[in-house]
């Protein structure tokens, strides 16, 4: 930090130019930095890529002493420190990956006031020895990165973060800045309460990314649909394709390569060296497509990613926002494309039912999924829905699929009643449960081998839904699941009624549905 005893905000601009080589602050960076330099607390809610790091790095450089950054991303600390060192900033880190000698050297530098920034894992800060170390040195600011990790209901809660409330008790004079890219009202309030940030100034950036075009399409033949997207709109562009499983990452990458696209896989199960090589190619070369699990992307900063494609449904709106947010950081037009189908809902519900943790945890996962499904099924502007999730308002954007080609809705009440009563009859008259495929065959009056085997053509509901096609019926099932008017259970994805199903069956509730779009020519196989 600079030797000057009374830090000035003009110092901040100087550091921005001299150390980071940028000409001006972005968004609210300057106000945030001023607040912290003057010794006040700040809570910063800013989307990924918004420029949160400078908000604590510059105060750490301007104020006397060392800025202590608490971050859960241990794997990224070395990279962050290297990048800072390359700029001439004196940075170090303390975490479990170091041997005692490395650790000691960093501690010495801190005590000698020779560090501008010290990165610490939250579990390390909990140790008495780390706390005594901080007592003996001089801390200029505490930065709590990924602050949403204190939120019990969040998707990556860390118990170690709860202990961070002691920062203020133990070092009341040191200003604190908490930062996160997750901005739901509930998380926001929980961060304030758990970290004791009642006196902090709040800085809430807009979460809108106007250059990203959001599109969510029905999944028919995902690979063909993806190929069409790349060929017609993103030939030669850098992009990220997200898949849920390692196996589908491998398979998808191989297929893309077969079709002449420069694609590489990336997932946690790969050999570390091969993975690093693929990441390096994506970052350094032009037009490489990374096919990855969500393990990919944390801390990746590539400005010219032109598309992010999801072949599987993200688990939450936060996840979707964060992953799609890796597109178009340079501000140029980019596409966020998601293919989603009935199978996704079945699979995600199964994952939740089988997940570890208590009932409350499962309920929280279920709520996150419901919000994601609502975004998929909305007939309103995607961007408005996305911003609303983060507690922000917007007007229809003109740059998402529903704005560009307004989705039609239809009264699906009668269809819902037919479907729900088929599920009900099977359970009541036959004590049977079946998956969507068999239910739809019954509704459409198809005498398949399995229908005949179970004598389902004798049911009174057999053939009552011949007026709708298979894609439409799958859409009905999907939307009933999204609205929790129907549920899936077990390994076979059997359909069961919910407490609310009765309201539809009894005619007390009507069901609006999004009309299925005709599948693209490329997409023939029925797997959605």
Q: What is the contact surface with ligand ADP in residues (CB under 6 A)? A: 22, 25-26, 29, 46, 48-54, 301
Q: Pick what 53 binds: ligand ADP, Zn ion, none; C-beta below 5 to 8 Å, kind-dependent.
A: ligand ADP
Q: Pick what 383 binds: Zn ion, ligand ADP, none; C-beta below 5 to 8 Å, kind-dependent.
A: Zn ion
Q: Which is nearer to Zn ion, 253 or 397 (CB)?
A: 397
Q: Pick what 403 binds: Zn ion, ligand ADP, none; C-beta below 5 to 8 Å, kind-dependent.
A: Zn ion
What span, in angstroms and rounded, lies between the C-alpha atoms of 390 and 459?
Answer: 47
Q: Which is nearer to Zn ion, 40 or 210 (CB)?
A: 210
The encoded tokens of residue 82 equal 């290297």
Closest approach, Cβ 25 to ligand ADP, in A, equals 5
Cβ-based neighbour number of residue 148 at 10 Å: 25
Q: Which is nearer to ligand ADP, 46 or 290 (CB)?
A: 46
Whole-Å CA distances, 423 to 436, 467, 479, 497: 10, 18, 15, 7
Q: Pick what 301 binds: ligand ADP, Zn ion, none; C-beta below 5 to 8 Å, kind-dependent.
A: ligand ADP
Three-state SS letters, 67-131: EEEECCCHHHHHHHHHHHHHCCCCEEEECCCCCHHHHHHHHHHHHCCCCCEEEECHHHHCCHHHH
Q: Which is nearer to ligand ADP, 12 or 115 (CB)?
A: 12
Q: Which is nearer to ligand ADP, 46 or 249 (CB)?
A: 46
Q: Pick what 49 binds: ligand ADP, Zn ion, none; C-beta below 5 to 8 Å, kind-dependent.
A: ligand ADP
Q: Pick what 448 binds: Zn ion, ligand ADP, none; C-beta below 5 to 8 Å, kind-dependent.
A: none
Closest approach, Cβ 87 to ligand ADP, in A, equals 10
Q: Which is nearer to ligand ADP, 54 or 249 (CB)?
A: 54
Q: Pick what 231 binds: ligand ADP, Zn ion, none; C-beta below 5 to 8 Å, kind-dependent.
A: none
Q: Which is nearer to ligand ADP, 298 or 367 (CB)?
A: 298
The encoded tokens of residue 200 equal 């902090």
Q: Pick what 33 binds: Zn ion, ligand ADP, none; C-beta below 5 to 8 Å, kind-dependent.
A: none
Closest approach, Cβ 27 to ligand ADP, in A, equals 8
What span, in angstroms and rounded, lies between the C-alpha atoms of 10 and 2?
Answer: 12
Instruction: Name the 3-class secondary structure at 143.
Output: strand
Q: Which is nearer to ligand ADP, 52 or 474 (CB)?
A: 52
Closest approach, Cβ 202 to ligand ADP, in A, equals 16
Q: Pick what 428 binds: ligand ADP, Zn ion, none; C-beta below 5 to 8 Å, kind-dependent.
A: none
The encoded tokens of residue 337 equal 């494309």
Q: Pick what 54 binds: ligand ADP, Zn ion, none; C-beta below 5 to 8 Å, kind-dependent.
A: ligand ADP
Closest approach, Cβ 21 to ligand ADP, in A, equals 9
Three-state SS letters, 120-133: ECHHHHCCHHHHHH
Angle formed by the axes of helices 100-111 and 128-136, nearest 10°: 30
Closest approach, Cβ 208 to Zn ion, in A, equals 11
Q: Which is nearer to ligand ADP, 193 or 283 (CB)?
A: 283
Whole-Å CA distances, 410 to 338, 407, 511, 513, 516: 23, 10, 9, 5, 10
Q: Which is nearer to ligand ADP, 119 or 473 (CB)?
A: 119
List 400, 419, 439, 480, residue binding Zn ion (CB under 5 A): 400
* Residues 341 and 218: beta-carbon distance below 8 Å: yes
Q: How many CA atoms lie within 13 A of 133 on its CB side?
A: 23
The encoded tokens of residue 452 equal 């005949």
User: Residue 31, exposed/middle/buried by CB under 10 A (0-12, 13-18, 19+)?
Assistant: middle
Q: Pick what 397 binds: Zn ion, ligand ADP, none; C-beta below 5 to 8 Å, kind-dependent.
A: Zn ion
Closest approach, Cβ 32 to ligand ADP, in A, equals 11
Touching Zn ion, residues 359-398 (CB under 5 A): 381, 383, 397
Return contacts of 328-333, CB within 8 angstroms, 24+ apart: 328/209, 328/211, 328/212, 329/49, 329/301, 329/302, 329/303, 329/304, 329/305, 330/303, 330/304, 331/211, 332/211, 332/304, 332/306, 333/211, 333/213, 333/306
DSSP string for residues in 261-277: --EEEE-TTS-HHHHHH
Q: Which is nearer to ligand ADP, 48 or 483 (CB)?
A: 48
Closest approach, Cβ 24 to ligand ADP, in A, equals 6
Residues 6+ apart with CB under 8 A from 308: 239, 240, 241, 242, 323, 324, 326, 327, 334, 335, 336, 337
Closest approach, Cβ 266 to Zn ion, in A, equals 30
Which residue, chain included where needed, has tokens 């859960």? 72
Is 209 a binding residue for Zn ion by CB under 5 A? The answer is no
Q: Pick what 52 binds: ligand ADP, Zn ion, none; C-beta below 5 to 8 Å, kind-dependent.
A: ligand ADP
Among residues 307, 311, 290, 323, which one has the least CA distance to residue 248?
Answer: 311
Whole-Å CA distances, 14 to 24, 58, 140, 312, 337: 10, 10, 18, 46, 41
* Residues 511 and 483: beta-carbon distance below 8 Å: yes
Is 241 a binding residue for Zn ion by CB under 5 A? The answer is no
Q: Pick what 381 binds: ligand ADP, Zn ion, none; C-beta below 5 to 8 Å, kind-dependent.
A: Zn ion
Q: Which is nearer to ligand ADP, 17 or 363 (CB)?
A: 17
Is 403 a binding residue for Zn ion by CB under 5 A? The answer is yes
Q: Which is nearer to Zn ion, 217 or 468 (CB)?
A: 217
Closest approach, Cβ 54 to ligand ADP, in A, equals 5
What span, in angstroms and rounded, lies between the C-alpha atoms of 161 and 158?
Answer: 6
Q: How many CA atoms lie within 13 A of 41 on its CB side?
A: 18
The binding site for Zn ion (CB under 5 A) comprises 381, 383, 397, 400, 403
């Amino acid at each position: 930090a600079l030797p000057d005893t009374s830090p000035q905000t003009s110092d901040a601009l100087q550091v921005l130019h001299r150390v980071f080589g940028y000409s001006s602050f972005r968004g609210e960076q300057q106000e945030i930095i001023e607040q912290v330099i003057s010794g006040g607390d700040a809570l910063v809610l800013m989307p990924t890529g918004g420029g949160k790091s400078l908000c604590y790095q510059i105060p750490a450089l301007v104020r006397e002493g060392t800025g202590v950054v608490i971050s859960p991303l241990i794997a990224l600390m070395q990279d962050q420190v290297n990048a800072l060192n390359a700029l001439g900033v004196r940075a170090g880190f303390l975490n479990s990956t170091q041997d005692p000698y490395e650790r000691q050297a960093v501690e010495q530098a801190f005590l000698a006031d020779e560090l501008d920034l010290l990165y610490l894992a939250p579990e390390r800060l909990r140790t008495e020895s780390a706390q005594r170390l901080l007592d003996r040195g001089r801390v200029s600011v505490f930065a709590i990165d990924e602050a949403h990790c204190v939120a019990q209901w969040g998707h990556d809660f860390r118990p170690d973060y709860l202990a961070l409330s002691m920062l203020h008790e133990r070092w009341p004079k040191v200003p604190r800045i908490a930062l996160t890219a997750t901005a739901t009202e509930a998380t926001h309030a929980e961060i304030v309460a758990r970290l004791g940030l009642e006196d902090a100034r709040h800085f809430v950036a807009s979460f809108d990314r106007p250059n990203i075009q959001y599109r969510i399409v029905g999944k028919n033949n995902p690979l063909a649909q993806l190929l069409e997207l790349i060929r017609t709109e993103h030939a030669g562009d850098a992009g990220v394709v997200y898949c849920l499983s390692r196996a589908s990452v491998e398979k998808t990458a191989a297929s893309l390569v077969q079709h002449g696209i420069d694609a590489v896989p990336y997932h946690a199960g790969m050999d570390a060296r091969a993975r690093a090589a693929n990441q390096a190619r994506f970052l350094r070369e032009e037009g490489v497509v990374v096919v990855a699990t969500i393990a990919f992307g944390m801390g990746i900063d590539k400005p010219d990613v032109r598309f992010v494609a999801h072949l599987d449904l993200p688990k939450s709106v936060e996840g979707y926002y964060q992953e799609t947010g890796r597109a178009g950081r340079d501000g140029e037009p980019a596409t966020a494309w998601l293919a989603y189908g009935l199978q996704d809902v079945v699979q995600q519900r199964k994952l939740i039912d089988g997940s570890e943790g208590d009932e409350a945890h499962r309920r929280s996962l279920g709520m996150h999924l419901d919000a994601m499904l609502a975004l998929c099924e909305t007939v309103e502007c995607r961007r408005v829905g996305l911003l609303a999730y983060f507690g922000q308002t917007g007007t229809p954007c003109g740059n998402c699929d529903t704005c560009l080609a307004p989705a039609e809705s239809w009264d699906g009440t009668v269809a819902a009643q037919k479907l729900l009563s088929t599920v009900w009859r099977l359970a009541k008259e036959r004590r049977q449960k079946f998956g969507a495929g068999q239910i739809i065959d019954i509704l459409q009056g198809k005498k398949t081998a399995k229908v005949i085997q179970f004598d389902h053509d004798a049911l009174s509901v057999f053939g009552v839904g011949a007026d709708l096609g298979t894609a439409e019926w799958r859409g009905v099932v999907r939307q009933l699941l999204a609205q929790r008017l129907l549920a899936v259970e077990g390994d076979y994805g059997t359909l069961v009624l919910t407490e609310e199903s009765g309201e539809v069956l009894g005619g007390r509730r009507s069901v609006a549905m999004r009309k299925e779009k005709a599948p693209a020519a490329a997409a023939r196989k029925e797997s959605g």
